[in-house]
């Protein structure tokens, strides 16, 4: 036996930090050694469940489904080659190094990321190698030297995390069963091409497509409101609040009708009544103090949502930056689902806040904070890790985006531990010409946490009016508005929807209580979103997420099926959380997933009628050997090696059989009307193939200027 301990980290960079702390400074092939330690590393998942061919099942065949292995076989991670999937040689070599070190050590210290997937990375390796060496768990929330040393001094017995492993293994096998069987079943039903389905991926796509159609099919409805103005008795300026200064005149206060009329005629009648009236009477004055609690600290999903809405960062980009900051020892473990901290960590908050007093960005604001408030402190609401915090290490040489995310976490800490924001809010209701109108004003008594970013809008202080006051009316108006549809999802709103399984909930405390019913986890949601991009199911248009024709075509087939049921997927996530807590048996979950898999497989195989097609009789323009087949949403080459797709729905217009035929035979259609731009404007264009047989727009020549046709994809 050569080593007292073998430490396994998840990445080489983390292994180097731990090796430095334990004195393992000698570089070896695939590890570091010294002082009785061997410190080695994985590259994420080195071992994975085998694909169907690992069980002797080749190709996609109806009679093989559902594929439900009695026991999953583990194999080294594979990579795709021209001849199919092959073991990754670098992975195989590292597994050999790890297997030898495990065998040559008295004890293993598991230092993979302290979470569900980190546990699975080790356990799959341990099982695949067939190791019997005892192991302890290093469970830390940051990579500072202090955290690593303290973690090594209080190692946990490895079996304490068995339930976490059972949940991770159940998640992995459920994703395999649903993903493999769903993908094969719908692909067989379609007859041509490959469609990818997944346990979390498909319900997420369904939410994007459902919101898209809600928006596109929305019919705006007009409404009218009336307004009148009165002179106040003081100077005030509040933008759109309803109060404004009018030169040297006393403040002008604008009140808006309580009623919104759906017909113009009664609104005009009310407007004429306002015109005829000379005065208005104050009928009600409500004054109350409102308290705005400090925001909770960030978990990963909330950080991703706000980074997207405020800075345009993708969820994957934010996660990548947060992971980099964690490995640079600047923040605590980022893949957390908790927005609270425990009592022992709260004791360290004054010292952490003090480290910001020398910051150019936060110094002045950090110096103002007295005793930290306790809203984010709750031992009962801690998941694997507490909320995101800075570590107190000084950031150096960070890029602009990295610094942006670091400052978001530091700024949120200052907000979370500041005082509450307290306002006096006044609502005045008045009647003029028989029309009831209202206006609201507010005065900040204590800015509290809203001081941190200084983003509070200017507020309006209403005059000291009282019930029964009669005031001079000096102006009136009528305005027309239109109801608006729900906008397309952004990554921020999609993350929020995934967090609550599609339930639209504003209340933050209620959102927190529903986290276990969400779909995906903080660590996996970004990857699910990126998968939808990679599968060409949706695209980004500025900040919005728009389903592609392929995504909409798939949604049209599965939207009423169990595999697209967001609520059911949320229930699976809750079951996985219960396995982790020990309140559900993993075998019970496995059996329910097997039943579910058989049901969705049957459901998907029976949808072949939705993919009914007819032979066009036209040769594929790309491969010249296949025949183009007409389906409902797509026209596709029947040559498996080619599979050229021509989607019928382009920019909101569905191409007819004749228009598609022109494209296939001539390489272009005639001039077509009925397209809709991203801004919602109609346009006309020719559809043509480019050099790679993608469809593009060719616009007609302008009548003036003689410009040549322009193309765009």
Catalytic residues: 333
Query: What does the angle CA 425 – CA 431 – CA 432 come to, to the nearest 5 degrees?
Result: 130
Alpha helices in 160-239 (DSSP H): 162-190, 201-216
- Could you tell me if 180 and 67 are in contact, meaning their C-beta atoms sit under 8 angstroms apart? yes
Q: Is 560 exposed, middle or buried (0-12, 13-18, 19+ CB in 10 A)?
A: exposed
Cα–Cα distance between 476 and 315 in angstroms, integer? 47
Cα–Cα distance between 388 and 413 in angstroms, integer? 9
Q: Is 151 exposed, middle or buried (0-12, 13-18, 19+ CB in 10 A)?
A: buried
- Could you tell me if 221 and 483 are in contact, meaning their C-beta atoms sit under 8 angstroms apart? yes
3-state class (DSSP) for residue 605: helix
Residues in Cβ contact with 10 at an 8 Å cutoff, skipping those fewer than 6 apart: 41, 42, 44, 111, 112, 113, 118, 121
Cα–Cα distance between 709 and 558 in angstroms, integer? 40
> How many Cα atoms within 13 Å fall on the side-chain side of residue 563?
33
- Could you tell me if 340 and 297 are in contact, meaning their C-beta atoms sit under 8 angstroms apart? yes
**N-term to C-term CA, the chain:** 64
- Could you tell me if 179 and 60 are in contact, meaning their C-beta atoms sit under 8 angstroms apart? no
Cα–Cα distance between 9 and 524 in angstroms, integer? 20
CA distances from 18 to 38, 115, 175 (A): 11, 18, 33
Cα–Cα distance between 66 and 53 in angstroms, integer? 14
User: Which is nearest to 221 in space by CA: 266, 264, 258, 268?
Assistant: 264
Overall size of the chain counted in residues: 713
Which residues partner with 696 through β-bridges?
688
């Amino acid at each position: 036996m050569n080593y007292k301990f073998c430490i396994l980290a998840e990445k080489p960079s983390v292994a180097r930090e731990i090796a430095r702390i334990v004195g393992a400074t000698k570089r070896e092939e695939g590890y570091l050694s010294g002082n009785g330690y061997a410190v080695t590393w994985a590259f994420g998942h080195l071992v994975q469940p085998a694909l169907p061919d690992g069980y002797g099942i080749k190709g996609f065949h109806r009679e093989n489904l559902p594929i439900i292995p009695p026991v999953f076989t583990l194999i080294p991670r594979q990579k795709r080659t021209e001849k199919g999937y092959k073991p990754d040689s670098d992975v195989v070599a590292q597994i050999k190094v790890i297997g030898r070190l495990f065998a040559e050590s008295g004890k293993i210290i598991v230092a993979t990321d302290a979470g569900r997937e980190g546990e699975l990375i080790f356990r799959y390796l341990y099982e695949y190698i067939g190791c019997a060496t005892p192991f302890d768990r290093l469970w830390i929330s940051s990579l500072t030297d202090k955290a690593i040393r303290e973690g090594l001094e209080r190692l946990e017995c490895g079996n304490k995390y068995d339930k976490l492993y059972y949940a991770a293994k159940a998640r992995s096998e459920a994703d395999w069963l649903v993903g493999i069987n769903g993908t094969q079943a719908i692909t067989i039903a379609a007859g041509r091409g490959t469609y990818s389905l997944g346990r979390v991926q498909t319900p997420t796509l369904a939410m994007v497509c459902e919101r898209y159609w809600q928006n596109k099919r929305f019919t705006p409805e007009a409404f009218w409101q009336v307004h009148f103005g009165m002179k106040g008795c003081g100077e005030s300026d509040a933008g759109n609040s309803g109060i404004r200064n009018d030169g040297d005149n006393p403040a002008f206060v604008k009140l808006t009708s309580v009623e919104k009329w759906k017909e113009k005629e009664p609104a005009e009648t009310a407007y004429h009544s306002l015109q005829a009236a000379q005065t208005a009477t104050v009928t009600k004055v409500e004054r109350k103090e409102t308290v705005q609690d400090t925001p909770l600290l960030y978990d990963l999903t909330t950080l991703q949502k706000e980074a997207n809405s405020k800075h345009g960062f993708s969820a994957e980009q934010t996660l990548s930056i947060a992971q980099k900051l964690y490995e640079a020892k600047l923040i605590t473990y980022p893949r957390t689902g908790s927005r609270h901290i425990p009592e022992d960590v709260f004791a360290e908050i004054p010292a952490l806040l003090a480290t910001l007093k020398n910051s150019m960005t936060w110094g002045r604001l950090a110096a103002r904070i007295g005793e930290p408030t306790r809203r984010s402190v709750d031992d009962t609401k801690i998941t694997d890790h507490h909320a995101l915090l800075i570590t107190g290490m000084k950031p150096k040489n960070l890029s602009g985006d990295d610094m942006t995310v670091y400052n978001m976490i530091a700024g949120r800490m200052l907000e979370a531990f500041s005082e509450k924001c307290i306002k006096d809010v006044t609502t005045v209701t008045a009647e003029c010409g028989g029309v009831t109108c209202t206006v609201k004003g507010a005065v900040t008594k204590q800015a509290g946490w809203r001081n941190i970013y200084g983003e509070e809008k200017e507020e309006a202080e209403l005059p000291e009016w009282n019930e029964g006051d009669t005031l001079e009316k000096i102006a009136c108006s009528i305005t027309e508005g239109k109801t608006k549809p729900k906008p397309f999802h952004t990554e921020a709103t999609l993350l929020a929807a995934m967090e609550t399984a599609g339930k639209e909930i504003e209340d933050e405390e209620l959102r927190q209580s529903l986290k276990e019913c969400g779909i995906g986890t903080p660590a996996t949601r970004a990857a699910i979103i990126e998968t939808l991009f990679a599968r060409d199911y949706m695209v980004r248009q500025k900040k919005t997420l728009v389903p592609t024709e392929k995504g909409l075509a798939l949604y049209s087939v599965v939207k009423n099926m169990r595999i697209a049921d967001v609520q059911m997927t949320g229930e699976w996530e809750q079951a996985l959380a219960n396995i982790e807590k020990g309140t559900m048996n993993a075998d019970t979950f496995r059996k329910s997933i097997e039943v579910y898999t058989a049901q969705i497989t049957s459901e998907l195989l029976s949808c072949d009628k939705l993919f009914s097609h007819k032979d066009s009789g036209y040769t594929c323009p790309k491969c010249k050997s296949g025949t183009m087949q007409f389906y409902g949403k797509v026209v596709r080459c029947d040559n498996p090696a080619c599979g050229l797709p021509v989607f019928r729905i382009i920019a909101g217009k569905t191409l007819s059989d004749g228009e598609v035929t022109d494209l296939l035979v001539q390489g272009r259609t005639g001039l077509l009307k009925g397209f809709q731009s991203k801004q919602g404007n109609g346009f006309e264009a020719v559809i043509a193939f480019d050099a790679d047989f993608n469809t593009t727009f060719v616009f007609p020549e302008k009548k003036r200027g003689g410009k040549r046709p322009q193309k765009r994809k």
